[in-house]
Amino acid sequence: EDEPDGLVQLCAEAATGRILGATVMGVHAVEIIHEVGVAISDGLTVGELGDIIHAHPTVSELVMEAAEQAEGLAPYLS
């Protein structure tokens, strides 16, 4: 709780939702950026990434929530 804020931002192709890149900043960025790398190499869309089940509560949930927000499924993050 005393850790500074962070950010997970996904860049996706508008027409298909295919993930093209990401910006991950924060104390635990190195622990979660690999997930986006795997998603890119596998050609996943933001919808597919958002459908992956993540352990809770974990920092990696931020990747799932960023994907859900990109799909318009996480209005509580807006």
Tokens of 1: 């709780």
Q: Quick: pLDDT tens for 38-55.
A: 999 999 999 999 999 988
* Phi-psi sector, 38: left (phi>0), alpha (psi -120 to 50), beta: alpha
| Residue numbers of the domain that contains 37 | 7-67
pLDDT at 56 over 70: yes
Is 72 part of a structural domain of the chain? no
> Between residues 7 and 76, which one has the greater pLDDT?
7
Per the CB < 8 A criterion, the answer to whether 66 and 10 are in contact is: yes
| 75, part of any domain | no
CA-to-CA dists, residue 56 to 60, 64, 65, 67, 72, angstroms: 9, 11, 12, 16, 21
User: What pLDDT band is residue 75 in, cutting at 50, 70 and 90?
Assistant: low
Q: What is the mean pLDDT of residues 31-35?
A: 93
- 76 or 6: which leads in pLDDT: 6
d(CA 69, CA 8): 11
The yes-or-no verdict on residue 34 having pLDDT over 80 is: yes
Q: Which of 28, 34, 54, 56 is catalytic?
A: 56
Q: What's the total number of domains in the chain? A: 1
Respond yes or no: is residue 56 known to be catalytic.
Answer: yes
Structure tokens at 55: 């352990």
